């Protein structure tokens, strides 16, 4: 197989596209030295007034197979596509290669051919995403090794990155859960030695963004940078727009909490409690099945089954990644997030009615959660890396993938 091409991984988010060239030698993949980030807002045609179509309406159209993007969605969607194409074009210019292989992850539910976005909570539906992007690249004389195979799940690509990258944390474990937080929440799972697509196990395992706590607040807010800002903004009575304008992000909120600002302290108390409960839910669902800890963002979601093939499984590790991982890293050992999180998680496990004593002792050998089980990901750009790796492995299939 001739691998004389530029491998590109794209992470398409709600606000921007981040693209990297990816180097590969045998089965070792790494981010290259070139990164291009294109913000949608940089396009003069970007609409600040755009509002997503009601999510329930989107889901209804998706389920009916009749997706009808609005004029506003079509307009905004073209800006998303141009940003992705511009990212590729700039990477090609930086590397001098005209022949490329592209992998891309995007949030939302995908169209039947997996080359378009059928449902997106925080952006436009773009049902012909890959077709339009390929047209722009062709107009710019960029040769594709093959058409873009699919728009993958950015969350699943985090798992692919952790499994195949040289610094990945899935590499040497059989059972592990990954929670990443950037623009949104991304979770990935490895069970029985294999990566598991959460779309394939949705009858018993629920994605983080699908759940909300008893206060009707989405768990995604507790994991994502924007969500943490919104939680703080509600406590401090500051709009998200003002927080961004004043450049008050999660690490700045942490600094305010360390200075005893009440709203910031409330924010971290909220995060510790809800993230601990989320991780506890993951532990118990994998071990013994769904037990109604959380409600659903979509009230019509089918209730998960309690039975599944992995009953009795204990996690070898819990991986925290992306900006949420950064937040945990700088909080390591502190009394603001780290210790309260583990205290709350330990309490849930010790008091659990669905975990047996042996499993409680596995996670909490001395009555406290074994902190060695929590690992901070070293892959800051896991979604882009995973997207590129997936494109390569789709072109060069490997056993058991």
- Beta-carbon contacts of 227 under 8 Å, excluding residues fewer than 6 positions away, are 181, 185, 218, 220, 221
In this model, does residue 2 exceed pLDDT 70? no
Instruction: Please say whether the beta carbons of 118 and 125 come within 8 A.
Output: yes
In a domain, 164, yes or no: no
Which of 146-150, 175-179, 361-365, 393-397 is least confident?
A: 393-397
Q: Is 241 inside any structural domain?
A: yes
Average pLDDT over residues 266-287: 98
Structure token digits, residue 115 = 């080359």
pLDDT digits (tens, 9 = 90+) for 18-55: 999 999 876 678 888 999 999 999 999 999 889 999 98
If one counts the domains in the chain, the total is 2
What's the alpha-carbon Rg for the chain, to the nearest Å? 21
- For the stretch 371-390, pLDDT in tens is 999 999 988 788 899 999 99
- pLDDT > 90: percent of the chain: 80
pLDDT band for position 3 (cuts 50, 70, 90): low
Give the percent of the chain with pLDDT over 70: 98
Check pLDDT > 60 for residue 1.
no
In this structure, the answer to whether residues 260 and 311 fall within a common structural domain is yes
In whole angstroms, give the CA distance from residue 298 to residue 291.
18
Asked whether residue 214 carries a pLDDT value surpassing 80, the answer given is yes
Residues 177 and 125 in one domain: no
One-character DSSP codes across 250-272: HHHHHHHHHTT-HHHHHHHHHHH
Q: How far apart are CA 105 and CA 103, in angstroms?
A: 7
Same domain for 216 and 245, yes or no, is yes
Asked if residue 243 and residue 95 are part of one domain, the reply reads: no
> How many whole angstroms separate alpha carbon 81 and alpha carbon 175?
36
Task: Verify that 126 and 223 share a domain, yes or no.
Answer: no
- Where in the sequence is the domain holding 53, given as residue range(s)? 6-155+383-395
Q: What is the pLDDT of residue 112?
A: 94
CA distance 390 to 104: 9
CA distance 185 to 2: 37
Residues 348 and 235 in one domain: yes
Q: Are 205 and 325 found together in one domain?
A: yes
Residues 139, 177 within the same domain: no
Per the CB < 8 A criterion, the answer to whether 233 and 240 are in contact is yes
- Does residue 400 have a pLDDT over 60? no
Q: Per-residue pLDDT for 170 more than 60? A: yes
Whether 145 and 200 share a structural domain: no
Residue 147 sits in the same domain as residue 195: no
Looking at the fold, whether 146 and 219 belong to one and the same domain comes out as no
Contact present, 173 and 216 (Cβ < 8 Å): no
Residues 73 and 126 in one domain: yes
Q: pTM, whole model, 2 decimals?
A: 0.88
State the Cα–Cα distance between residues 226 and 249, nearest whole angstrom.
8
Q: Is residue 161 situated within a structural domain?
A: no
Determine the distance from the C-alpha atom of residue 186 to the mean position of all C-alpha atoms in its chain, rounded to a whole number.
2
- Any domain includes 345: yes
Mean pLDDT for the stretch of residues 125-142? 96
Per-residue pLDDT, 398: 59
Whole-number average pLDDT of the chain? 93
Q: What is the pLDDT of residue 401?
A: 41
Residue 163 lies in a domain: no
Quick check: is 275 in a domain? yes
User: What CATH number does the domain containing 90 carry?
Assistant: 3.30.420.40
- Domain annotation covers residue 303: yes
Tens-place pLDDT, residues 298-353: 888 899 999 999 999 999 999 999 999 999 999 999 999 999 999 999 999 999 99
pLDDT of residue 163: 92
- Residue 250 counted as domain residue: yes
Which residue(s) pair with 177 in the sheet?
189, 318
Q: What is the pLDDT of residue 274?
A: 97
Burial state string for 60-78 with b = 16 or more CB within 10 A and e = fewer than 16: ebbeeeebebeeebeebbb
Long-range contacts from 193-201, C-beta under 8 angstroms, 24+ separation: 194/400, 195/156, 195/159, 195/160, 195/163, 195/170, 195/401, 197/153, 197/156, 198/153, 198/155, 198/156, 199/153, 199/156, 201/308
């Amino acid at each position: 197989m001739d691998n004389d091409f530029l491998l590109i991984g794209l992470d398409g988010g709600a606000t921007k596209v981040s693209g990297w060239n990816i180097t590969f030698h045998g089965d070792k993949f790494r981010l290259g030295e070139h990164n291009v980030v294109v913000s949608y807002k940089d396009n003069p045609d970007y609409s600040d007034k755009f509002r997503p179509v009601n999510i329930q309406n989107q889901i209804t159209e998706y389920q009916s197979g009749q997706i009808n993007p609005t004029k506003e969605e079509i307009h905004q969607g073209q800006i998303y596509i141009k940003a992705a194409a511009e990212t590729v074009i700039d990477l090609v210019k930086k590397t001098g290669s005209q022949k490329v292989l592209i992998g891309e992850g995007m949030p939302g539910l995908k169209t039947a051919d997996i080359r378009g976005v059928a449902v997106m909570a925080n952006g436009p539906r773009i049902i012909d995403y890959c077709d339009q992007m390929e047209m722009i690249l062709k107009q710019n004389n960029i040769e594709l090794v093959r058409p873009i195979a699919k728009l993958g799940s950015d969350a699943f690509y985090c798992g692919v990155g952790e499994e195949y990258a040289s610094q990945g944390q899935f590499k040497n474990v059989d059972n592990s859960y990954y929670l990443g937080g950037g623009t949104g929440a991304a979770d990935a799972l490895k069970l029985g030695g294999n990566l598991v697509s959460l779309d394939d196990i949705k009858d018993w395992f629920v994605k983080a963004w699908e759940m909300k706590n008893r206060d009707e607040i989405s768990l995604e807010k507790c994991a994502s940078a924007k969500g943490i800002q919104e939680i703080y903004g509600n406590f401090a009575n500051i709009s998200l727009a003002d927080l961004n304008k004043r450049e008050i992000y999660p690490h700045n909120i942490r600094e305010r909490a360390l200075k005893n600002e009440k709203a910031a302290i409330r924010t971290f108390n909220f995060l510790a409690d809800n993230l601990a409960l989320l991780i506890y839910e993951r532990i118990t669902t994998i071990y013994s099945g769904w037990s109604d800890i959380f409600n659903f963002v979509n009230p019509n979601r089918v209730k998960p089954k309690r039975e599944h093939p992995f009953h009795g499984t204990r996690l070898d590790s819990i991986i925290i990644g992306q900006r949420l991982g950064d937040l945990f890293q700088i909080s390591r050992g502190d009394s603001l997030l780290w210790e309260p999180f583990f205290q709350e998680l330990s309490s849930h496990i010790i008091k659990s009615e669905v975990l047996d004593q042996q499993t409680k002792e596995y996670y909490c050998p001395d009555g406290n959660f074994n902190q060695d089980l929590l690992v901070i990901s070293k892959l800051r750009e896991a979604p882009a890396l995973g997207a590129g790796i997936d494109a390569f492995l789709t072109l060069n299939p490997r056993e058991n993938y």
